[in-house]
Structure 1
Amino acid sequence: MSKLIKCKTCTTEMASSATTCPKCGAKNKQPIYKKWWFYVVIILIIGALAGTTEDTPSSDTTNKPNTENPAITPGNTTATTTPALTPEPEDKNPAIKAGTYKIGTELPAGEYLFIADSMGYMEITSDSTGSFDSIIANDTVASHRYITVKDGEYLKLQGGKTYALADAPSIVPENGLYQDGMYKVGTDIPAGEYKVMLTSSIGYIEVTSGSRGVFDEIVTNDAPTGDTYITVTEGQYLKLQGVEIQK
């Protein structure tokens, strides 16, 4: 049985399959989506769109730089040569490595500059027995100090680098602020009077006549708990710890 519909002109009920209204004679037009040729047109349009999408290059790949091989770029198929590494410059200040050296055999007698890495140790002994009585001088070095050794002695160095004076780097501060370390008066710091400013709860000042590290070389020393003054002369050595001097 055919489904009943209403005429769009006079609203009279009629069969959906009727071509005209039995009352007013108006044509019964079917919706366009119910016509057979409508689906043929849709299929043709979908096929045409699919073909266009496949032929168009993706915007993600068009003119995209070559990141996988940076030596090869579009239009250039020749790979560039990796530049040779520039050799590191040789050390202008050859350092004496840590160890124990026999003076006169492995190292010449004379004066050296010891620069600690963070905390170093130097020791001068009269022989290689390792006994306490053989120790001539020793010091724990937090910064730098001078060391003078003689033929036949042994020099033990730990935790730093040591230089012959001819090869030693300058220890003169560029800003003129002298802090922890040993300085040669007349070479590293001018002779004269200086105000010593405390940088810790207690400091240490020592003036010596040489850099052997022996007791007899001490001209004066002090452990100040506040700012003070010190006068040094040409050829002396000034050792600072926990204090500073502004030139």
Structure 2
Amino acid sequence: MTDRRTELAANLSKVEERIAAACDAAGRKREEVTLIVVTKTYPASDVRILSELGVRHVAENRDQDAAPKAAACADLPLTWHFVGQLQTNKVRSVVSYADLVQSVDRPKLVTALSTAAVRAERELGCLIQVALDAEENGRGERGGVGPGGIEELADLVAGAPGLRLDGLMTVAPLTGPYAGRQQAAFERLMEFATLMRATHPAANMVSAGMSADLEQAVAAGATHVRVGTAVLGVRPGLG
């Protein structure tokens, strides 16, 4: 456990240095960027260590892993983000522990989240997941709504009981015009975020960038970066 704590502390420190350097290069204050540590596939014991090391935001992408982990860490001062593609039959469980769902990408999901949030007497933060590899009104291969669907979904979330529209999220696309052009992709997301704030001024969260491209996300103006591997190491089974 001590070795794992040392390892996580060292990794966290390196990531912190990267974010600080990226903020400096972009002329931004360090506090403008929030680190979300993606803890998927890692045990609750790691989440506990991260909390002791000062991490306050963690993310999961599969309900069957996240629900027991969140329950085991319920005593910790953490904000839980759900970042995976979400099926409506998992919504009730996710709403029981997640503070924010970053992967809202269709009206049916908005309705299900609203119903579950009201039932649980919770306010759930929502980010619209934008698919920059999709046609204007299509869907991305890794989830997300095409640019043409952002406004409608944003209005739906903003008007739904139990939900709070917090902003936009994207995953750097592997295909399409932005493949291999992460910073251009994130800058495009920022343009959509600016447009959305014209009608929803409080929705100022922009979640973009992961271990490999957090610098480009910070340069583009992201408010939140989602980092897993660089903090926790190569995932079991992937190394």
TM over 0.5: no
Return the structure number with greater relative CO, CA threshold 8 A, min gap 6.
2
Q: Name whichever structure is richer in helix by fraction.
A: 2
TM-score by length of 2: 0.24
Compare CA radii of gyration and give the structure with the larger one. Answer: 1
TM-score by length of 1: 0.24
